[in-house]
Structures are given as structure tokens and as C-alpha cells.
Structure 1
Amino acid sequence: MSRDTATESRATPAAESGLGDKGLSKGTVGVLGAVVIGISCIAPAYTLTAALGPTVAEVGTQLPAIFLAGFLPMLLVALGYRELNSAMPDSGTSFTWATRAFGPWIGWMGGWGLIAATIIVLSNLAAVAVDFFYLLIAQLTGNDAIAELTRNLWVNIPTTLVFIAAACWISYRGMQTTKAFQYALVAFQLVVLTWFAVAAFSHVNNGTAFDPTPIALDWFNPMAVHSFAAFAAGVSLSIFIFWGWDVTLTMNEETTNPAKVPGRAATLTILIIMGIYMVISLAVISYAGIGETGLGAGNPENQESIFAVLAGPIMGPFAILMSLAILSSSAASLQSTLVSPARTILAMGYYKALPERFGKVSPRFMSPSTATITAGSAAAVFYVVTRLLSENALWDTITALGLMICFYYGVTALACVWYFRREAFDTVRGFFFKFLAPLVGGVILLVMFASTARDSMDPDYGSGSNIAGLGMVFILGMGVLVLGVAVMLYMRIRQPGFFKGETLKRML
């Protein structure tokens, strides 16, 4: 069979049904495996140590209420994702579903939003893993100078590239290798987080806590936040810390039941993460209070890494386990986060929204080959360039992630509403899961997108860097989306078939 004939026969399923088999390994991931990978991608140990302090600084003891407020749109969007996955289990997720609902232009940008967000965060995860790698060595050897090696670019950059390459290698070897790697690291970080929480509550109970603060119902009341600006800032932070659960959907073609397992895993992942965040936030505030001095959770000096400050007083000689847990959390998330962009790029190559070479699958490991290497290489290049330019540029781009997350989640949620518009009102269940839940969740996130875009125009937003008085966070965030439009227009000229609905049909 000629190459052209093989390509034509491969495209036939997509032409007839709108979806096609990409050659990924089937039946390799069950609900447990998908949930573990979902938790790993969110990286609770790493996320909490970076997010707790800044969020407490914004909302004080209403931290649990803010987590609940951020959890709500994530859950509503996840319910919409579950319905879309049941109808169209495809590794392209946001790209595929938005294309089927709204057409190729919006679908392409939905895929770009996911790819851009995950590639940017990959570079950040690698950087954090390297920071804690050298910190852990310093703690083990008692040589504090080793921890400072991460500030040396000519040590930091090569080490970061090694971490990214290792994550690519594991991902390239497919879901079986990924699962084996993730089970151990996720289990370890959850054990350490549980240990930390139990020890903190024990100190509170024994009267040895730094600032014992009794838990009150008011902590769960979002109306008690002192201002709407603080509430909005807190919700923006909490949305970011829930991000990553949709990795369970991008594995749908590799699960034991593509129509059901990914949706169940996504919902379970969000619920489990919510439980973890709630317990840890209560433990931290109960032990340390929200004061701005000493070990207080509101102390600006503690905000960069709250666990680095509290682990010693709470866990005693076992505090080093927390550093190891954060290292394992960021390393595990670095690898699991690669799953999403690789499979989205694979789908875009398969449906010819990107060059067809991106649709290749490794015949040995039955995993995205070119797409995985491309995602890892893009993350590596992005990290090197931004780190050499300015550390502020790197962190401002991470701050701009909120724009892309809200964009592609919101678009996908509304795609659910539009795709099921003719059947959503047939049953009560359909009305809630196919219409109301994704509509509310999608609107909330798109409002957050607009609000964040407006706020980020302020030069004081993020690191304070600006160009001609326009905040760097806005320039970077919107710049990435504009770059996506440029690439899309280029692909429209080079490969018009996708944009004409020839390879992935819109459902009218």
C-alpha cells in the first residue's frame, strides 16, 4: 500500500464519523491510574507550598472559603467535560470538542490554549524540581552552599534540561511506564502531606502550636472576605491550583472504558484534591495563624514556600521528607503534565490542523512520539530563553497562565452547552449536566479571563515589569494567544483541509 493510500485510509474514519483511531495503546489505564496521574499533574505538595501564603495574604482565615469558590467552577466544567467525553472520547479533548461544536477556528484556538498553558507550566515545574533538588542535597550534606547552585544559570539550565529530558523519556515509553513512575511519587507526597496535617493538629491540640487558631464556620463563608478585589484575587489563585485535572480526559483513548473512565476520574480527581487542600489549609491556619510575623501564614517572608518554613517546627527531624515530597511532586507533575500537550498535538496532527508528522505514534510504545518530543523541546527552549532574558519574564509568564487556563476551559465548557443544545432539555439530568453546569462554569471562567486580562494591564501586576506602561503579564499572556492566531492562519494557508471541515466535521 502506498503512503498516500495509507494516509487516505487512515483519514476515512475521521471523515465519516468525525473521530478517528490514532493508534494509541488501548485499555492500559483504569480509574485508579487516571486519578493518580490527575493528582500528579495538579501536584498538591508543590502547589500548596507556593499558593497558601499568597492566598492567605489576600483573604486571611477565609482561605477554605476561597478554595470552595475556586472549586465550584472547576467541578461544573468537569461535569461538562465528562458529557463531551462520553459522546466523543478523543485525545484532542478541548481541540476536538470545540471544533465539533463551534468549528475549526475556535477549536484550533482551544487546542492552542491547552498546549501553550501546559508547555509554559512544564518549564516552571522543571525549575521548581531543580530548586528543591539542590535544596535536598544541601539538607542531606549539611552544606548550605549547594542550595545556592540553583542561582547559577550555568548549573541551573543544564540541570533543568536533564529533568525535562527525563520526563520526555518516561512519557515516550507510554502509559505503562508513566503509571509505574506516578504511583510511587504520588503515594509518597500524599503520605507526607497527611503526616504534616496530623502533626499540625496534634500541636494545636497539645498547646504547642505557634499561634493556635480555633477553626470557625466563618472560615468557610466567602461573603466574609473583606473586599471583592481580595475575593477575585483569591479565586484567581484557587482556580490555578485546581488546574490539571483534565489530563485524565486526554488519556481517554488509552483507558479501559473511554466513554466512562476519564469522566469518572476527572470528577474523583477534583474531589480528592479539594479534600487535600481543605485539610492542609485548616491545618496551616490552625497551627500558624494568619499573622505577619514569625511563622504566621500571612508573613510575606513565608509566602514563597510555606512548607519550607513550617515543616521543621511541625514535623521535627522528619521535615526533610517535606522537601523530598515537594521535589517528587514537581518531578511527577513535570512528567504527567507532558501527557496533555503531547496528545493534543497528536490529535491536531492526525486531523491535519498541524503538519501530519505530529500525528505519528511510536509503534513500540504506542505513544505520541513526535508530539512528546516536540512538547518537551518547546518547554526546554521556552525555559532557556526566558531564564536568560530575565527571571521576571519567566515568573510573569507563569502568572499569565491564568489567562490561558480560563480561556480554554471556558471555551470547552461552552462547547458542551452548544454541542448538546438540541437534547439538553429532554431530561432533568441532561439539563443539569449538559447545559446548566457547563454554562455556569464556562461563564465564570470567561469572566475571570476578561477580569484577569484587564487587571494584568496594570504595570504593578506580577513582577511590576512593563513596556510603554502596559503590564508584562498582559503582554505575555495575550502575546501567546496572538501567536496562536498567527500560527493558525499559517496552517490555514498550508493545510486548508481541516479548516474546510474535511478532516474533522463540525456537528451542525
Structure 2
Amino acid sequence: MKKGAPQGNDREDLKAKGLSRDTVGLLGGTVIGISTVAPAYSLTATLGPTVGEAGLRMPGIFLAGFVPMLLVAFAYRELNKVMPDCGTSFAWSAKAFGPKTGWMCGWGMLMASIVVLSNLAGVATEFFYLFLGEVTGSPDVTELNDNKAVHIPTTLAFIAVATWISYRGITLTEWLQSVLVGLQLVVLALFIVMAISTSGEAEGALGFSWSWLDPFGVDSFTAFTAGVTLSIFIYWGWDTCLTVNEESTGSERTPGRAALLSIVVIVCTYLLVAVAAQMYAGVGTQGTGLGNPETADNVFAALADPVMGSGLGVLLFVAVLTSAAASLQTTFIPVARTALAMSAYKALPSTFAAVHPRFRTPARATVAAAVVTGTFYTLMTLVSENVLLDTVFALGLMISFYYGITAFSCVWFFRHQLRHSPGSLLIKGLMPGLGGLMLTGVFLRTLRDTWEPSYGSGSSVAGIGSVFVIGVGLLLLGAAIMLLMRRHSPEFFRGEVLHHTTPPLVVDD
């Protein structure tokens, strides 16, 4: 046997959840990862805000945000090899650091998914009415999106449809996502070609400069961390590949490979779109400029017709609509399977451990996620008109939290193996450790910056920035629920269900 290979005791207490087996392959996992990231939706929501923070260095900020994602992806891959459990971050961090850390890590992932689901549903609704308005030529139809009495029920309808598809099984999900991901990548490729080829004709157009790819030219460290937080948000979702590990062929290796492939495709797409958009529109604060605050939360709505013409511009609306709708559906995968795993290990009420006998999906967890998402979005929309932007910033806070814990879990779990080969030291130690440190730095700096009301949309609660209130409030809510669950289910918190272990070394015979 290889020196440093883990024995079976690190997965002796992992439980089969009743999910379908050998259903998702490498291509299917990659498609699901890309779909959850939702490149078209993520770009239209973050190009403007990132330019607002980083200016011409926006492509470089996207590149900077990719680095910790890549490093953390190696942590996911290595942990999945020895513990292919659909609870992923929750299960791995509980095995590495104990039940309390595992619970909070799982909670961070659940809340990140809920926040993303609410944003995705809102964007799907917005582009649904933009698409209808473009097709009918009626501004009144487009303006229906601004009517909360229409907008909220439409959003809830999108959530209901996505829930139904997720409820029906992973095979239907995989087939549908292949179509929708292919559509949005083709449209984005068309946008890139047309934006670059016509950039010389547009007002505010810029010639390409390699300096755009240098993230360290940003004016301040606050702007840098804000931009990186946004870019972390646009990469979030690739780890969905890992949450279907129990349903994948080659569960120990295929999901990790799919995750790495997903983020490589995503970073290439983002850099090309960012450069093309900046060459065409520039970073001005007027008209189609990417720095225009009036179009910052929906850049593609402003660029669709100017770049692609009235005939093809509607395709960009369709791409974002399908991107948001597709990601809305696939994002139910990690939240439902994390809740399923937490319930199976008695960290959440046992009701969420139920798997549909025919579809082999976490049925109750999926429905519960839909109810929480719909309630969260409705309340936030009624309370704040700036809910989309502020939850995006708060999302970066939660992603940094649970990704960072997962990265450190890899280092700690494999700590006794690191000195036995340069490869182990690099892949299981240095790279995940560096990724974890980077995300911890972003998390701490963002905590400090978001305290100020000027961060994000500028709204506040009792003088405290609403981004801080949303992000920290959700984490504190998790800590309170954890205390309740500790009284209700002491077995998990005593380490009797999911043991705190480290894989031993096995020396060559």
C-alpha cells in the first residue's frame, strides 16, 4: 500500500442515506457545478458592483477571487477521496474539528444556499419580465417586475417549479442542466465575440490592457477585499459536484475532478466576458458604462441591445433567465443534501433524513428548503429594496466562513501525512492552508468593513450596515439553533454519531 494512504476507520461511521447510486458521471457533475455557479446570472449581478469597487482592475479581481477557490477545491477533492459523504463540509469539518465546528460549517453552507436561492429566484423573475417586455414590445410588461404584488408571487412560482424538478430526481436534473448550461455558454460566447468586434464603435470603449488583470492596482485594501468578496460569490456553487458524491460513479474521485473542471471553465468564461464588456462599455458612470450605478445590479439588461442588436439582444435575456432558473434548481441539491446528512447524523431533526422511495431524493429537506427560501425572500423584499445587493455581499461573508473551515479541515485531518511526501505536503497541506488563510483574511476584513452603513447598498439597521446585520445575524441564528439541537440531540454533540478522527498512516509492506 502507499505510504500515507488512509485506512477505512475514517469512514466507518459514515452512513448511506438511501440516495440513488452510480447516476452522475464526470460530465454530468461538471454540468451541475457550472449550472449552480450560474455564470450568466453571476456576471450580470456583479460586473457593475465589482467595477464600482475595483474600476479597470475588475478582470484582475475576478482572477484574484479564483485563486482561493482553486486552492479550496483541492481540499474538497482530497477529503472526498477518503470520505465521499453528501454532507461534505459539515461531515468533513466534524470529523476534523469536532461536532460544534462541523455543525456551524454545515449551517454556513445551508444559509449561503438559502441566500443564493432567494437571489436566483428574484433575478429569474426580473429577467422573465424583461424577456416578456422585449418580446411584446411593451414597457408596461417589463415594469410588472417593479410591482411587488406581481413580483413576489412570480418569484414564489419559480421556486415551486425548481422544487418540483429537484424533488423528481437527479437524472431529470442532469438532463435539464445539460441543455440550459449549453445554452447560456453559447450565448455568452456570442456576446464576447460581438462586444470585442464592435468595441471601437461604442462610446466609452477602451483598448485592452494587460494591467486590467493585475488586482493589486486597486486604490485601497478595502476596495480590494470588497471586490474579492464579490468575486468569491460568483464562483460559489462548484462544490455542488461534491454534494452528489454518493450518487456519482466513482464517488471517491469523479466529484473532485468535476469540481476542478467546473471552476476552470468558469474562470475562463468570466475573464473573457469581463474583458469584452470592459472593452465595449468602459467603466464610466453614465450610459452603458459598467460603473453606472443605475445599471450596476443588471449590466446585461443595459448591454444586450447595444452589443447584440435588438434581434439577438433578447438571447442575452434568455441566457440570464435560464441561468438563474437552472441554478435555482441545482442549488436545491447542496442545501437539501446537507440537511439530509445533518439529519442522518442527528445534528438536525430526523424528519429531514427522509428519502423519497421512488425518486431517491431528500424529499422533505428539499420542500423545507423551498419554504425557507420563499419566506426569506418575501420578508427581505418587503423590508428592503436593496435586498439583492446586500445579500450578495453577505453571501460572500458566509462563503468565506464555511469554505475556510473546510480548507483548514483538510490540513488538520491529514496533518500526520504531510511530512511523508512533497505531494502530500503541497496538495493536502500548503494549498488548502493558503486558501483557508486567504478566505479567513477576506472574512475578517469584510466583517470590519460591513459594520459601516456605506458598505453595500448603503442601508443600515440601528446605525449598523445591513450587510453586517444579514451575514452575522444568520451565523448567530445558527449558533442559537445549535444550542437548541445540543439539548435535543446530545448524541451528535458528544461525538457518538460522527466521530472526530484522523486517518492513520499505513507503511508499505
Normalised by the length of structure 2, the TM-score is 0.94
**What is the match of residue 432 of structure 1?**
426
Pair 297,466 (structure 1): closer, same or farther in 2 beyond 3 Å? closer
**What is the match of residue 5 of structure 1?**
none
**What is the match of residue 315 of structure 1?**
308
Deviation string 1:187-232 (CA, Å, 9 cap, x unpaired) is 111110000111112214xx43434422222222223223323222
Aligned residue pair count: 494
**What is the match of residue 36 of structure 2?**
41
- Is 1:285 matched up with 2:294? no
**What is the match of residue 217 of structure 1?**
210
Cα distance between partner residues in 2 of 1:377 and 1:468: 29
Percent identity among equivalent residues? 53
More off after superposition, 467-476 vs 70-79: 467-476
- Is 1:194 matched up with 2:184? no
- Is 1:176 matched up with 2:171? yes
Cα distance between partner residues in 2 of 1:97 and 1:503: 13
Deviation string 1:334-390 (CA, Å, 9 cap, x unpaired) is 001110000000001111111112111111011111111111111011112222233
What is the identity, as a one-letter code, of the residue corresponding to 1:226? D
| Structure 2 counterpart SS, 1:362 | coil
Deviation string 1:211-268 (CA, Å, 9 cap, x unpaired) is 4422222222223223323222221211111111111110100111110011001111
**What is the match of residue 4 of structure 2?**
none
Contact 1:14 1:504 in 2 (8 A): no
| Structure 1 counterpart SS, 2:417 | coil
More off after superposition, 211-220 vs 110-119: 211-220
Cα distance between partner residues in 1 of 2:472 and 2:177: 33
- Is 1:52 matched up with 2:47? yes
What is the identity, as a one-letter code, of the residue corresponding to 2:380? T
More off after superposition, 425-434 vs 97-106: 425-434
What is the identity, as a one-letter code, of the residue corresponding to 1:83? E
Contact 2:233 2:392 in 1 (8 A): no
Of 390, 398, 411, the match for 1:396: 390
Of 58, 71, 81, the match for 1:76: 71
Deviation string 1:291-342 (CA, Å, 9 cap, x unpaired) is 3333222233332222111221211121001011110010001001110000
| Structure 1 counterpart SS, 2:372 | helix
Of 469, 472, 490, the match for 2:466: 472
Of 237, 248, 268, the match for 2:261: 268
- Is 1:372 matched up with 2:366? yes
Cα distance between partner residues in 2 of 1:506 and 1:424: 19
- Is 1:240 matched up with 2:233? yes
Pair 296,390 (structure 1): closer, same or farther in 2 beyond 3 Å? closer
Cα distance between partner residues in 2 of 1:146 and 1:14: 60
Cα distance between partner residues in 2 of 1:67 and 1:371: 33
Deviation string 1:413-446 (CA, Å, 9 cap, x unpaired) is 0000000000022111111110001101011111
Contact 1:353 1:491 in 2 (8 A): yes
What is the identity, as a one-letter code, of the residue corresponding to 1:142? G
Contact 1:14 1:20 in 2 (8 A): no
| Structure 1 counterpart SS, 2:201 | coil
Pair 450,34 (structure 1): closer, same or farther in 2 beyond 3 Å? same
What is the identity, as a one-letter code, of the residue corresponding to 1:289? G
- Is 1:140 matched up with 2:132? no
Contact 2:162 2:328 in 1 (8 A): yes
Pair 394,132 (structure 1): closer, same or farther in 2 beyond 3 Å? closer
**What is the match of residue 95 of structure 2?**
100
Contact 1:15 1:504 in 2 (8 A): no
Cα distance between partner residues in 2 of 1:490 and 1:224: 47
Contact 1:99 1:506 in 2 (8 A): yes
* Superposed counterparts of 1:276-425, under 5 Å: 276-316=269-309, 317-393=311-387, 395-425=389-419
What is the root-mean-square deviation of aligned Cα atoms in Å?
A: 1.6
Shift of 1:14: 10
Contact 1:15 1:503 in 2 (8 A): no
